[in-house]
Structure 1
């Protein structure tokens, strides 16, 4: 039986990322994008993220089955200890703990980077009822993973002819020290996690 293996994303992973992400763009309200990004766009996103932060790939056998990364919650200096997480798992591989493995690794890396807060921005049904474009799986996953609701923006997202809310969830992974250590660029520590 194959095991889920994590590695760093490469520009050549853009096509696999597009395959996984494209389904969510076209069929769900999980992402606010309405057009599938081009391979060039996705390649540039990988490169930009990896200038400072981890961009991870999950494989099962020889197939890419998920990806996750963190990015600044806000580019201004005083926000540096807070990141936003993004995670997508191949719709045919849900229930195989791919998301958990990706999040476990992201959290380990972020702790080493001196990140204090991890956040997730999650589209949510305005009437609290799932529909054909949106389940409640993401907020439930994040809650089980220790994230707490920090805020809710009402009718903040419009997709598929319907208004959706946006939840902001957060998880503190370190103490809020009075003099926090500046975060470390992932490239300075990535050898601790990947060869």
Structure 2
């Protein structure tokens, strides 16, 4: 079998008419297609596959079958098609997965791989679009590094849909990870201030002064990596490690902390930062990473479950759960510790 793309957990290949029954589990399922005008008939599923086969011949790409490596099961489609948005033609990343395979990060994994595929073939810009209330699909676009552009109207399956939203990513955008400089402190403090003043992500009540923040950077850099992520020359996030304990037995264990600009979350910066931090720490002989995150069973305006979920996707596992350990905004919050061995 000739696979177009392979990721850690998935394989993507061209669709054939033999896939009709499996693809119908997605496209003909009312729940999966609730954001479309209607579920597909079998004839429409076959037409969908034929459309993509034509795209393979015309463009060299289309929506591909997504296969789970572990089970060799067909779980949906994902790929690149040419889509008209108002007066412009774009390369669009689309994805449709069987409902029992959602919530595992598969759509994000496949979409990012398709984004890389497009970039490697000289595509400069990609989009995804969906109905405005399709939050799962919007989150996948955000995790694929796309940003919201606008709302628009589009004809879908012969029906005019007025609440479509467009997400876009410039594949030539420059993202790089580098060591922090003391001159970065003001920008980093700007990022951190949001989490202090508006969220329970940080249990600090007051934003530190610029001099206090600079001193924190200096103290960390004496022993551990402190990194920033730049996009087009602008710092959009930072990460650092610190001693878990001063006792010698803990010399191979560190705590990790990461903050991403609120306007650049779910765009891959956190993953890039953690990846480089782990590489640096591994060279130092560090074995254990610990990350403490505020937690609430019921999300509120000050705290979501994004940070715990992010750490689980980065390969951490939950190691401890402390109940009602921090009070902020006159509410009690839990603290979860996550551990990863490198």
Residues 105-136 of structure 1: CA deviation (Å, up to 9, x unaligned): 011111111101000001001xx111100011
Structure 1 Cα separation of the partners of residues 267 and 340 of structure 2: 23
Structure 1 position 34 matched with structure 2 position 217: no
For residue 92 of structure 1, give the secondary structure of its aligned residue in structure 2: helix
Please, which runs of 5 or more residues in structure 1 have no aligned partner?
174-195
Q: Which residue of 2 aligns with 1:72?
A: 243
Q: Which residue of 2 aligns with 1:52?
A: 223
Structure 1 Cα separation of the partners of residues 179 and 253 of structure 2: 21
Q: Which residue of 2 aligns with 1:134?
A: 303
Please, which runs of 5 or more residues in structure 2 have no aligned partner?
1-171
For residue 262 of structure 2, give the secondary structure of its aligned residue in structure 1: coil
Q: Which residue of 2 aligns with 1:146?
A: 315
Q: Which residue of 1 aligns with 2:331?
A: 162
Structure 1 Cα separation of the partners of residues 174 and 249 of structure 2: 40
Structure 2 Cα separation of the partners of residues 59 and 75 of structure 1: 32
Q: Which residue of 1 aligns with 2:293?
A: 122
Match of 2:277 among 103, 106, 116: 106
For residue 263 of structure 2, give the secondary structure of its aligned residue in structure 1: coil
Q: Which residue of 2 aligns with 1:171?
A: 340
Structure 2 Cα separation of the partners of residues 71 and 22 of structure 1: 20
TM-score (norm. length: structure 1): 0.86
In angstroms, what is the RMSD of aligned CA positions?
0.7
Moved over 3 A (4+): none
Structure 1 Cα separation of the partners of residues 266 and 322 of structure 2: 29
Q: Name which one, 1 or 2, has greater alpha-carbon Rg.
A: 2
TM-score (norm. length: structure 2): 0.49
The aligned length equals 171
For residue 33 of structure 1, give the secondary structure of its aligned residue in structure 2: coil
Q: Which residue of 1 aligns with 2:48?
A: none
**CA positional deviation for 1:78:** 0.9
Match of 2:189 among 18, 22, 27: 18
Q: Which residue of 2 aligns with 1:8?
A: 179
Residues 5-58 of structure 1: CA deviation (Å, up to 9, x unaligned): 111111111100111000000000001111111110111111110101000011
**CA positional deviation for 1:3:** 2.3
Q: Which residue of 1 aligns with 2:54?
A: none
